[in-house]
Every structure is written in C-alpha cells, then in structure tokens.
Amino acid sequence: MKRTKIAELIGHAPENQKVLVQGWVKSHREYPDVSFVALNDGSTIKTMQIVLDANFKAEYEAAHPDQDYKELMKSINTGAAISVVGHLVPSEGKGQTSEVKATGLKVFSPFNPDFPLQKKGATLEFLREKMHLRPRSNTFGAVFRIRSAAAFAIHKFFTEKGFFYVHTPIITGSDTEGAGELFHVTTLPLNNIPKTADGEVDYEQDFFGKSAHLTVSGQLNGETFAMALGDIYTFGPTFRAENSNTSRHLAEFWMVEPEMAFYDIEMNQDLAEEFIKYVIQYVMDHCADDLEFFDEFGHTLNQGVGKRELKARLNFVLKHKFKRITYTEAVEILQSASKKFEYPVKWGSDLQSEHERYLVEDHFKKPVIVTDYPKDIKAFYMKLNDDGKTVRGMDVLFPGIGEIIGGSQREEDYDKLVKRIHEMGLPEEEYWWYLDTRRFGSAPHSGFGLGFARLLMFLTGMTNIRDVIPFPRYPRNAEF
C-alpha cells in the first residue's frame, strides 16, 4: 500500500477508506482505553490525529502475545517515526474533521528521551544549534515549505514571461561586483604555496592555471546570454566573504538574476515590482496554513513583529505601487528628517540600512525604489547618466529588510565601460570577454538581483536571515 500524505488526506472526505500514513509523532495523549497520537509527515504544518482504541489494543495484543502494549505506547512519543494503517473516519474531537482509526502500527524508530525538540517554545537560537533537526519543528517546517513554493513561483513567473533559465558558473575567474569579497578556489598546497620570481602566488601551477573563486553574482555571464536569448534569468547560490555578522547577510545565499535585452531602467523597475508581487501572491495562494501560523505565532519567535501583522503587510505590499525616487531626492529627504541617524547623510556616501529603513518605514511607509546613485558607490557596469556623476542603478527597499533587490541598466557603450573599469582600478584584461559583448551587437539592456533569503524574511516575518536558509554559512560557521 502506498502512503497518503497528510496534506492530501486533510482534503479527503472521511468515508472509512483504508489509508497508510507515515510520519513523526508530535504528541501522544494516553487515556485508560484510548490513545491519541498527533502525527506530522512534513507535507503540511497540520497533524493527523491517529486513534488507538480498545479494539486496536485487543487486536494488537492478540497478534503480538510476547509484546508489552504499555511499552509500545511509551515508545510512541514526540520524535518517534511510525507507520499507521487505518481508516479515515469523521472525528468526534475538536480541531479536526477527520482522523485515522488505526488497525495496524509499525514503529520505525521509538521515542528517544534525548530528542532535543521535545519541549514546546524552543528559541530560534537554540534551534540554530540543532540545524539538522530544526526542519522538524513547526516553525522551520513552515519556513522551508514556503521557501520551496517561492522558488517554484520564481521559475513559473519567468517561464510564463518567456525568459530562459541559464545556469551560470559557480566557480569563476571574474569579480562581478568588483568588491573583492571573494572565496578563493584552489588546489595549491596551502602549507607550501608556489611563488613566482617576484614573490606572487604562482597561479600558473593552480588547477585552473589562474586565480579562481566562488561567484558573487551570475550577472556578467547572464549578460552574455541576454545578448543572445533575449530575456534570461539565473537562480543559484552566490558567495560573499564579507565579514558582516548581521541578521541580513550570509556568506552563501541564493540570488535570482534576470537580465533583459532592450530594457531600460524604467522597464527594469516595472519588472522588479511585478516579479516580487507575483511571488508574494503565489505564496499567499499556496501556503495559507504556513502563513497563518506565522501570522498568529510569529511574534512569539521574532522581536519587533506584531501579532497578526504578517499577512496585513503582505497584502499592503500587493496593493500599493512602489514609490520611485532618485538617490539625490532620498538624500534630501533624509537630511531634512528630524530623526537622528548613527551615520550622517551626505551626497556621495552609500545609504546605510538605517537610512533605507527610514525611507520605507517612516517616510513613505511602503516599498521604495531608489535610482541614479553616485557612480563611485556602485559597480563598474552600471550605465552612466548624462550628468557624468550618477549611474542608472536601482535598489528596491522593503520594510523590515532594507535592500531586497539591487540592479541597473548596464553600460552598453564599449568606451565608457572601459573607462569605468580603469577608474575603478579593475584589471581590464580579466573582463575581455565581457567587453566583447559591447564590441559585437551591443544593445541597451538591464537586470537585477533579488536576494532570495531576504525575500523569504519578508514572506515569513522571520527577522534573522540565518533562519530562512537550510544550512546558513556565516563568519566562523560552516557546521553541518
């Protein structure tokens, strides 16, 4: 017999049909002549009530004369893995419409009193130390079902729009962002690194014959495909060796990067807004139970999140058009704000998280897209405006998160691009193939990168980015 997942079973009318359910015990309530087991199989946050009644006991004892029924009952407790055959019947109890009246039971793995997730109300910090077991908690089960649905929604959105999914490389020789936050990839012996005559590392002897590292972004490779297939996107892991121990940064995170031929910065903003709204709507439509859980209980886990705030926030974002302002306008607003910032606001310096959040949460009270940043604080590939000072970059800022998307119209002019590479002190020869796209059939194009984990923070209301990725990597932590 094939098992039916509990998510599916909940939708079935109970007509005494025979079913097989398999999962992990959440709780077990024992009474003198009946026992109720709440079983979860991960397919939903909901549990199926398993009823072990007097009939079951009599039949079990007759079939297993050498076994102690009391011991069996003890073995079925929080964390145990079991398999149950029974009949789906209407439930007399409160809280569920159907339940499984057991006729057969198999214990794969009995209750172990050392199971760390037995007590309710474990903190997120505690669960972070049990990264390998935390998916079994209600909270993390919900996070990762939502993560899966959101990933699917991303593919669905772009596929429906005629975008092609391109797999850009993980190991690369070019630094897209030019920020130097790279994890090197090498097979050179670390205790005896070969050096050239002038004392540099001799990468000639390394695996790739040159210096290589984990990618910080698939954008540059993505651009070469946009100049061929038109509209493309990448969705994969990216890596940054920035030593920032914050609740919004990971050393390994997934990024979605669409890149579109013939798009200008306006079209880029339109797409970004439509895209985020689509994914939010999809998750609201397909993860109702998990969102309901966060809506009701999220505030008990995360500081600064109100009860019944999450769904209202998601709906609010769906309903309102994102505010679009330039960096220069943003600076003016921040400078005339009565709020005192830790970092002073000055034209030319990057917006800090506190500034971004002021714009979104206090001033406009909705998502904001900031464009036209000073060229010196943005990457080399962004298209230079006619003023010669600003570039056509855009950051999408979200409540509670700050920057969720970073993107730009790209510089399509060969000479201007080379000039920017030199101005930023980057090695032109490393970018020869990228520059070729500006020599052959160059055309206006744009793209952006969405930090998938940051979107998940918004979708779930989780306030620490380490709690929305299965196995977070951050400074001094690569356990699991």
Write out the residues near Mg ion by the rule CB under 5 A: 406
- Residue 204, token pair as written in the block: 């000639």
Q: Give yes or no for residue 28 binding ligand 4AD (CB under 6 A).
A: no
Binding site partner of 460, from Mg ion, ligand 4AD, none, Cβ cut-off 5-8 A by kind:
none
Residues in the chain: 480
The CB-of-302 to ligand 4AD minimum distance in angstroms stands at 18
Window contacting ligand 4AD (CB under 6 A); options: 134-142, 279-287, 358-366, 403-411: 403-411
Q: Which position among 76, 255, 271, 360 is part of the footprint of ligand 4AD (CB under 6 A)?
A: 255
The CB-of-175 to Mg ion minimum distance in angstroms stands at 15
Residue nearest to Mg ion as judged by C-beta position:
406
The CB-of-448 to ligand 4AD minimum distance in angstroms stands at 5
User: Rounded distance, CA 190 to CA 202, Å?
Assistant: 12
Q: Which position among 407, 412, 434, 472 is part of the footprint of ligand 4AD (CB under 6 A)?
A: 407
Q: Which is nearer to ligand 4AD, 82 or 182 (CB)?
A: 182
User: Rounded distance, CA 132 to CA 303, Å?
Assistant: 24
Q: According to CB under 6 A, which residues from 441 to 460 bind ligand 4AD? A: 447-449, 451, 453-454
Q: Which is nearer to Mg ion, 185 or 331 (CB)?
A: 331
The CB-of-381 to ligand 4AD minimum distance in angstroms stands at 8
Sign of the Cα torsion 34, 40, 43, 45 reads positive
Q: What are phi and psi of 356, to 5 degrees?
A: -60, -45
The CB-of-251 to ligand 4AD minimum distance in angstroms stands at 7
Binding site partner of 23, from Mg ion, ligand 4AD, none, Cβ cut-off 5-8 A by kind:
none
Contact positions vs ligand 4AD (CB under 6 A)? 176-177, 217, 219, 240, 242, 249-250, 253, 255, 257, 403-407, 447-449, 451, 453-454
